[in-house]
Amino acid sequence: MRSVLGMVWVGLTGCAAAQTAPPATPVTSAGAGKSGPVVTSRAQCLALKGIWRKVGVQQLDACDVPTRDGDKPCRSSDQCESLCVANTDADPAEPVEGHCYASFMTVGTCLSEVSDGRIVRAQCAD
């Protein structure tokens, strides 16, 4: 009986360790369906005027690169480098004017994407 419990314990702890191991490469900056620059080092990030930081539940290294059109009014994401998003207090049942999201990094955020002047999806990424 003890050996069975010991094997179960080893099996469970092995699974837990495998689930929390971070990937070998850093997270890249990207919006849903769009990609920012692929940055794999702190030096590259700083050269792009980005912020090198830990993101997400696993606290992985990532570069938060700003867009050139952040806060510009928009009606769809095709008008933005990253995403067209609504203000947090926007009514999903009403037409909205969005604004271009000021970053390619969507990890650790909750955003309401705008398409054709309507909120089409609310998403949280972690």
Instruction: Note down the domain range covering 112.
Output: 22-125
CA-to-CA distance for 51 and 49, rounded, in angstroms? Answer: 7
The rounded Cα 41 to chain-centroid distance in angstroms is 18
Q: What is the pLDDT along the chain (126 residues), one digit of tens a residue?
A: 444 333 433 333 443 333 444 444 445 444 445 778 889 999 999 999 999 999 988 999 999 999 999 999 999 999 999 999 999 889 999 999 999 999 999 888 899 999 999 999 888 888
The tally of domains found in the chain comes to: 1
In a domain, 12, yes or no: no
In a domain, 42, yes or no: yes
Complete DSSP assignment for 16-68: HHHHHPPPSSPBPPEETTEE-----SHHHHHHTT-EEEEETTTTEEEEEPBPS
The pTM (predicted TM-score) of the whole model is 0.69
In a domain, 39, yes or no: yes
In a domain, 1, yes or no: no
In a domain, 8, yes or no: no
